[in-house]
Chain A
Amino acid sequence: MVAKKGGNRGGEDAEEELKREPLQAILLADSFATKFRPITLERPKVLLPLVNVPMIDYTLAWLESAGVEEVFVFCCAHSKQVMDYLKNSKWFAQPNFAVSTIESHNSISAGDALRLIYERHVISGDFILVTGDTVSNMPLTQALKEHKERRRKDNNAVMTIVIKQSKPSSITNQSRLGTEELFMAIDPDKKQLLYYEDKADDHKGTISLDKALLMDNASISLHNDKQDCYIDICSPEVLSLFTDNFDYQHLRRHFVKGLLLDDIMGYKIFTHEIHSSYAARIDNYRSYDTISKDIIQRWTYPLVPDVQFFGNCATKLERRGMYRASEVGLSRSAQIGPFTVIGNGTSIGSNTEISDSVVGEDCVIGSNVSIEGCYIWNNVTVEDGCKLKHAIVCDGVIMKSGAVLEPGAVLSFKVVVGQQFIVPAYSKVSLLQQPVKQDSDEELEYADNSSGIIGIPSISSIPEKLNDQFSTKLSDSQRRAGSEVGDGGVGFIWSLGEGGHEEEWRHSVAPIPADRLVEIIKTATDALEISNQDGNFLPPSGELEPDSVDNDSDEDARDDYSYFEKEVEATFLRAVHENVKEDHIILEVNSLRLSYNLTSTDCAGALFYSMMKLASDTPHDTPGELVKNVATVITKWKKLLKDYLTSIDEEIEVILKFEEMCLESTKEYTPLFVQVLHLLYNEDVIQEKSILDWASEKEEAEESDKLFLKQAEKFIQWLNEASEEED
């Protein structure tokens, strides 16, 4: 309905189009990430409760209210659980809101998911692309209208992404949602996205914008204060683009950057900024915490606990932002602080303090318990005297008396924490053992994810299995697990992720500790001082810069060359030791030359270098022996070398190379320069003319450069005389 309103304003064409096509949305019920592990090993992320309501309900409720008529829920990890949940919910029975599921077992990325959806041919027009962990109350009317208007003018405007003002912290450089800072360049008039850099790609101090951007636009705005809401309005082309570029996996890293970099097809991405409405995506534990608080503080209205938007039961808003369900057994002496939600059927013992927390349904919380900033899900038992601070406690957890959760701890399903046990900060405890660590290569993040699914067969049935195990005896592994979380406890403490302890605090539910902040500021200041000492942190501007850039590329070339040289040397040595045929060496060297994009002159130089190196590496005592070594090597391999010495230029290169060697790498040749040169001449490796050319070339060089020329003076003189005699 809302969409139709947009159509009316947009003109009759759009209206017709809209009448024909209902507004569709794709909801990816899989984040294709592992940030919520270990919880997500047992339950899909979209079903995790956010202020006592599964995340997917927020997304679906928003889509429905925003006028979406058809939603395709893409299920992959734990697909059965998601489908079962939807089946048992009322979402399938809504009028004017069709929800259908698409199941896949082998998709490992958003790219795979979209390719699969493309094959199904279910999307007919523009659609909304969101993940099932999005919380928003933004109206789509305006954004859709803008998108469609742009589409009408320019068929290449395939995507509109929703952004929102959010300044990352200047200390940690991460947003309040715990995501990396984002740098974007946007055309201020057309709102076209021109540059997108999330995840400080490399630790460069500068952003480099293509010069072509300013050719087309008189001005560009660069933003560091926007947040990507991960709500995209896409044209059907987006799906086919994913199919065409089968290597696109990640929506932002591959798709958006791919389109921005590739100007051949000319596809454009635009942005739509929302100001008053809410939109955010739960990416990690920190955003889980932030968004929960936003919901409790009613930024997401009407998606708040006391409004029955879907599936949640009646909760009453009381003073100071406290929500309490109807049937809560609350002791008189219990103190419930502000911004706290207490779910249905929960009982709380005497002298217990709870603040800034969410407690789910049917929990039993004992006396003298202190809970601060925690997310306690359903059926949790917290015995007397426990202390919980900034932790996530999943369904069915039992905390025995006196247990302590330090900030950032995550207890997965049905973990039992033993008496008086202290769960260390940022630790993750699960009944499942941590999967064997894999390479943390970028690509493998997905593979890791999939293996997680495959590695644990029929994941949806695991909770039941675990139930059985509980009722019967504890298995061996669990007995071992017990010792990890104290006396009588059950669970494995996972070793920390790849980032290690260092990075864990960034994404945890716990606020960043103050001493950590001090540390960061210190390192930042140090870094600044270092860059100050460096002085030329940026190359000097103006006319000086071209030179410096040239130097850079020169250096690159030199690097290339030195690699090439090493490889040629290795090839040559192999030839020497293994008696490889000369033809084969030539073939190999040629292929090296091609792969490094060098000339045959370089080959001659490198080969000569390898030979001389071989000679000097062969054991010798006196310079005389060294010359002999050189003689043997040259005589043996001159045919090979000759193959590359087709012209005077290459021969000169060899002489120059030799000079360089004498100066830099193998100084022992320095006194032997003339002797070796003579040898090369005698062996017909180098012609008279090239020596003379070299000499005349060097005539003009600086004095310091003439060292060897002077050494060779007599020899050259002799050559000169010889040639005159011939004349």
Chain B
Amino acid sequence: MDFQVVVLAGGFSKSLVPLVSKEVPKALLPVANRPVLSYVLDLLEQKSLKDLIVVVEGETAALSVSAWISSTYIDRLHVEVAAVPEDVGTAGAIRAIHHRLTAKDILVVSGDLVCDVPPGAVAAAHRRHDAVVTALLCSAPVSGPSDSGSSGAKDKAKKPGRYNIIALDPTKQFLLHIAAGAEVEKDIRVQKSILRAVSQMEIRSDLMDAHVYAFKRSILQDVLNQKETYQSLRRDVLPYLVRSQLRSELLSNGVQSEENGNGKDAMQNVKILPSQLLANASTPSFHELYPLGPDGSASMTRKTHKCCVYIANKSKYCARLNSIQAFSDINRDVVGDANHLSGYSFSVHNNVIHPSAVLGSKTTVGPQCVLGDGSQMGDKCSVKKSVIGRHCRIGSNVKVVSSVIMDHVTIGDGCSIQGSVICSNVQLQDRVILKDCQVGAGFVVTAGSEYKAESLAKKEKL
């Protein structure tokens, strides 16, 4: 398969402070006690896409990611880790590594993706249509940032979050319009020329761009070279390709003839391709024009390119770890509804307790929980819908509900932790009560303190 895979693993994402730290870049944040990046890598490995370039922002982050990959995936994957400067954006990252890209098509996957959609399906759709870009779309997660979390607005709580506004053709194979980011909240502006060509389009707000793209390499590099201001694949490059699909500036004439060939194929397959509709318009009078003159027909052939989509089945899980809320949601889902992703075999109680973990008497670990190896819990503790990392020491009478506790955390007696994220090496002294909080790595919460919806972290020296 002539595909090169680029995993964009990001760096120290600001939106994830205080969860990320110098030691833990975004790619290594634990989801059910495994770095989030491992989900993408495992998924690619399953599909025998073993030649990867992992792009990490920042040298230090690259080093730690590289160290982790080489220890975990040695002999399994052939991974190159490339460091790019921070804040270059996704488009910048591709620009920075462009000399390494040689294959005909490039599969760009976000390193913070937790999903079970085979990337091969995206690649196949891409090849089938000879598209310039193919994007993976999945149903917008229902309990995204708008869940009753710290950031969500209450009026949105019941609806799925709106991430993108996407227009598709009736066969749901082609991407005709995409709005992301701030545009989502604005009026929708659809190009008439595209609508004329497809005659019918469906505008949806319940799909999310999963940030898995297959690009034609030459085109991608052309765009990145021509449009130097483009920073983001998702916000700049993809919308650009979509809106210029009927008046492409990218394809040379050589590709054009190929395009016409495709049009014919598609006609035989009774598929409606926008380009075909435009090139071979439905009125017979149009065809009469062809013999009218070589000049006329030459100016008529329009340069088009195709932007395709692969829409993941609704039953598939797909989420991106790009906010603190998403971190909690993904941890909850991976040990809960989507536990096939975690790679653990769940017990009859629907939970995972490592054999080396020690539980005190009358301590209960409910379903949808994971307890890492070497962790100890005192008496009369209760854990519900939570993930607890390795080598944690938890005292007695501790309640942990809907929370994520990373490795080497010490929790004193009588603590109550709800909806919170506790990073590595945190110390919670006795009777601490946390609700919807995030505690940064190495932080010490003093005895008896009580916090609600706060972010606690050591002041990092900048």
Q: Which residues of A contact B (CB under 8 A)?
A: 167-171, 173, 181, 183, 185, 188, 200, 204-211, 213-214, 218-225, 511-512, 514, 517-518, 521-522, 525, 528, 531-532, 538, 540-543, 545-546
CB pair B204 A207 closer than 8 Å: no
CB pair A206 B189 closer than 8 Å: yes
**Chain A residue contacts of B187, Cβ below 8 A:** 208-211
**Chain A residue contacts of B300, Cβ below 8 A:** 521, 525
Q: A514-B289, A517-B285 are known; give 12 further A-B pairs, CB within 8 A.
A: A170-B281, A171-B286, A205-B192, A207-B191, A209-B187, A210-B188, A211-B186, A225-B199, A518-B292, A541-B180, A545-B183, A545-B186
Give bound CA distance, A168 to B191, whole Å. 16
Kindly list the 3 A-B residue pairs having the minimum CB-CB distance in the complex, ordered from nearest: A542-B235, A225-B199, A541-B239
Q: Which of B186, B189, B197, B200 contacts A223 (CB 8 A)?
A: B200
CB pair A205 B191 closer than 8 Å: yes
CB pair A545 B199 closer than 8 Å: no
Give bound CA distance, A260 to B100, whole Å. 54
Given A205-B192, A542-B183: A170 in contact with B286 (beta carbons within 8 A): yes
Give bound CA distance, A209 to B239, whole Å. 18
B431 contacts chain A at the CB level, 8 A cutoff: no
CB pair B185 A207 closer than 8 Å: no
**Chain B 100-128 interface 0/1 with A at a Cβ cutoff of 8 Å (1 = within):** 00000000000000000000000000000
CB pair B196 A542 closer than 8 Å: no
**Chain A residue contacts of B23, Cβ below 8 A:** none
**Chain A residue contacts of B188, Cβ below 8 A:** 208-211, 213-214
Given A170-B281, A521-B300, A528-B302: A223 in contact with B289 (beta carbons within 8 A): no
**Chain B residue contacts of A168, Cβ below 8 A:** 196
**Chain A residue contacts of B189, Cβ below 8 A:** 206-209, 538
CB pair B206 A219 closer than 8 Å: yes
Docked complex: B147-198 residues within 8 A CB-CB of A: 162, 165, 167, 179-183, 185-193, 195-198
CB pair A541 B203 closer than 8 Å: no
B282 contacts chain A at the CB level, 8 A cutoff: yes
B85 contacts chain A at the CB level, 8 A cutoff: no
**Chain B residue contacts of A167, Cβ below 8 A:** 199, 282
B278 contacts chain A at the CB level, 8 A cutoff: yes
Q: Which of B167, B196, B204, B249 contacts A170 (CB 8 A)?
A: B196
**Chain A residue contacts of B181, Cβ below 8 A:** 541-543
Expressed in whole angstroms, the minimum distance between the Cβ of A456 and any Cβ of chain B is 39
Docked complex: B288-302 residues within 8 A CB-CB of A: 288-289, 292, 296, 299-300, 302
Given A170-B196, A214-B203, A222-B203: A522 in contact with B299 (beta carbons within 8 A): yes
Who on chain A is nearest to B170 by CB?
A: A221
Give bound CA distance, A221 to B232, whole Å. 29
Expressed in whole angstroms, the minimum distance between the Cβ of B303 and any Cβ of chain A is 9
CB pair A211 B206 closer than 8 Å: no
**Chain B residue contacts of A511, Cβ below 8 A:** 285
**Chain A residue contacts of B256, Cβ below 8 A:** none
**Chain B residue contacts of A542, Cβ below 8 A:** 180-183, 232, 235-236, 239
CB pair B196 A173 closer than 8 Å: yes
Give bound CA distance, A177 to B186, whole Å. 35
CB pair B202 A219 closer than 8 Å: yes
Q: Which residues of B contact A (CB under 8 A)?
A: 162, 165, 167, 179-183, 185-193, 195-206, 232, 235-236, 239-240, 243, 247, 249, 277-278, 281-283, 285-286, 288-289, 292, 296, 299-300, 302
**Chain B residue contacts of A546, Cβ below 8 A:** 182
CB pair A528 B195 closer than 8 Å: no
CB pair B204 A532 closer than 8 Å: no
12 A-B pairs in the complex with CB atoms less than 8 angstroms apart: A167-B282, A170-B197, A205-B193, A207-B189, A208-B187, A214-B162, A219-B205, A222-B190, A222-B195, A517-B285, A518-B296, A525-B302
**Chain B residue contacts of A541, Cβ below 8 A:** 179-181, 183, 235-236, 239-240, 243
Who on chain B is nearest to A207 by CB?
A: B190
Who on chain A is nearest to B249 by CB?
A: A532
Give bound CA distance, A228 to B299, whole Å. 34
CB pair B302 A207 closer than 8 Å: no
Expressed in whole angstroms, the minimum distance between the Cβ of A41 and any Cβ of chain B is 33
Give bound CA distance, A210 to B165, whole Å. 12
Expressed in whole angstroms, the minimum distance between the Cβ of B293 and any Cβ of chain A is 8
CB pair B201 A221 closer than 8 Å: yes
Q: Which of A208, A517, A528 contacts B289 (CB 8 A)?
A: A517
Who on chain A is nearest to B177 by CB?
A: A222
**Chain B residue contacts of A169, Cβ below 8 A:** 281-283, 286
Who on chain B is nearest to A168 by CB?
A: B196
Give bound CA distance, A538 to B239, whole Å. 10
Give bound CA distance, A546 to B281, whole Å. 37
Give bound CA distance, A541 to B289, whole Å. 37
Give bound CA distance, A54 to B362, whole Å. 92
Who on chain B is nearest to A203 by CB?
A: B192
**Chain B residue contacts of A512, Cβ below 8 A:** 285
Give bound CA distance, A687 to B281, whole Å. 72
CB pair A207 B192 closer than 8 Å: yes
Given A214-B165, A219-B204: A224 in contact with B236 (beta carbons within 8 A): no
Expressed in whole angstroms, the minimum distance between the Cβ of B444 and any Cβ of chain A is 39
Given A167-B199, A171-B283: A218 in contact with B204 (beta carbons within 8 A): yes
Who on chain A is nearest to B197 by CB?
A: A170
Give bound CA distance, A183 to B285, whole Å. 23
Q: Which of A171, A204, A209 contacts B192 (CB 8 A)?
A: A204
Who on chain A is nearest to B280 by CB?
A: A170
**Chain A residue contacts of B286, Cβ below 8 A:** 169-171, 517
**Chain A residue contacts of B196, Cβ below 8 A:** 168, 170, 173, 181, 224
CB pair A220 B203 closer than 8 Å: yes
Expressed in whole angstroms, the minimum distance between the Cβ of A170 and any Cβ of chain B is 4
Give bound CA distance, A17 to B437, whole Å. 61
Give bound CA distance, A525 to B278, whole Å. 12
